[in-house]
Each structure stands twice: as C-alpha cells, then as structure tokens.
Amino acid sequence: MTGWKQAARAARLGAICGIGPSLILFGWYYAANHHLPLPWMRIGAISALLGIFTGAALGGCVQRLITTFDRASGVVRLVANPITAGLLGGALASILAGVFTVSVFGAYRGPYVGTIESGAMLIAACASLATVLAVDARRGAGAGSVADLLPAAARVILAAVIVGAATIAIALAVAPALFANGVFWTARYAVMAHGPVMVGCIVGILVGALFGAHLGLSIWLNRRR
C-alpha cells in the first residue's frame, strides 16, 4: 500500500473514530445546558463536522508523515520516526480546529471544551484511531488482523500512560494555572488578553501535538513486536 493510500485509509478511520465521541459530547452538553437559549441545531451539526474533519486531518497527516519519515536514511533516522511524525502531524492538523473551537465554542455560556467530558471524548477518539492503526503497524503496510487487536490495544494504553504522565509533568512545571483554574477558564482569560486566533492556534498546536504523539508512539511501540 502506497504512502498516500495509507494516509487516505488513516483519514477515513480518523473521521469514523471522531464522529461518535463528538456526538456523545454534544449530548452531554445539551443535557447540562438545554435550558439556555443556544442554537442547539447549529452546535450539534458543528460538533459532528468538527469531529469528522479533525479526526480525518489527524489520521491522514500523521500517517502521511510516518510513511515519509520511514524513507529517511543516515543520521536523519535519529529524529525521523513515528513519534516525531505524530508530534508534527498532530500539531499541523489541529491548528484550524483549535482556532475554530476557541472562537466558536469558547463564546458560549457554560464550558463546552476544556472540561473532563471533552477531554475524555478526545482520548476515546484518539485511542480508537490509535488502536486500529496500531493493528496495521503490527502487520506492516496494509490492514492487520483481529488477532492483533488485544496486544495492539495494550501498547496503545501504555503509550497513553507515557504521554499522559509527560504532559502532566510539563503542565505542572510550565502552566500550573491550568490545574488551579481549569483549561476552559484559563483559555477564556487568555482570549481576553490575546484574542481568539492566537489562543486558538496555540491550543490547537499543543492539543494536536499531544494526541499526535500518542498516535505516533502507539504505532512505534507496535512495530516492535
């Protein structure tokens, strides 16, 4: 399977993995805030489309960079690997989503993003995509088999623990306000000071790099059977 075909397959899988958690998150937000006069039909449609396109962009970008980095040779191989491909691809794929999310959802009353629920749905979407791509990685190019599902999922969980621990350690050292005030309110204060575009870019890059790193690390671990 060529690099572009692998990227297209990863994009399709990313879209599928993204829509379910997005709709579940919208259902939670509606249940908690349905008494507010908000454009619920618009929010639901945007949630579904955002989940589809962000999942497709993440999967496609990361997989395409992985196949490109796989062709590297010499000393470049020291830095060109699935983990760095995940970091870079995730960051690039999530810039527009970050700007859109901060600008649109950040303006609504009641936190829609930056909550435990939104974090859980992001993790669910990324973990499901990582598991499917990890199964493929255990078989090389092309689709893997169901027999690889459990060992692949175990390594995806290990990758989540590693990336999660590193993220918490870095956040505690660099931005302890995230834990004191919460991501939503920290981002809202930042928007007031710097504007939604700049904050959205930063949020998109950081969150995308985080989940891209998990995706890349999951694939890297599953290549080492």
Give residue 112's pLDDT: 65
Task: Specify the pLDDT at position 109.
Answer: 62
Residue 170 parent element (H or E)? helix 149-174
Over the chain, what is the mean pLDDT?
85
The mean-pLDDT minimum among 53-62, 134-143, 209-218 falls in: 134-143
Q: Amino acid identity of 102?
A: V
Query: b vs e for 131-164, b when ≥16 Cβ sit within 10 Å of the residue's Cβ?
Result: bbbbbbbbeeeeebeeebeeebbebbeebbeebe
Domain limits of the chain? 3-223
Which pTM was predicted? 0.84
| 36-44 long-range Cβ contacts below 8 angstroms, 24+ apart | 36/109, 36/110, 38/108, 38/109, 43/105, 43/108, 43/112
Structure tokens at 34: 């349905």
Per-residue pLDDT, 162: 95
Name the band, by pLDDT with cuts 50, 70 and 90, for residue 199: confident
b/e 49-86 (16+ beta carbons within 10 angstroms → b): ebbbbbbbbbbbbbbbbbbebeeeeeeeeeebbbbbbb
What is Dmax (Cα atoms) for the chain?
61
Do residues 14 and 55 touch, judged by C-beta distance below 8 A? yes
Say yes or no to pLDDT of 12 above 90.
Answer: yes
Per-residue pLDDT tens for 182-194?
666 677 777 788 8
Of the chain, the percentage scoring pLDDT greater than 70 comes to 88
Distance of CA 126 to the CA centre of its chain: 5
- pLDDT above 50: residue 141: no
Predicted confidence (pLDDT) per residue in 48-71, tens digit: 898 999 999 999 999 999 999 988
Structure tokens at 163: 């990336």
Return phi, psi of residue 111, to 5°: -70, 125
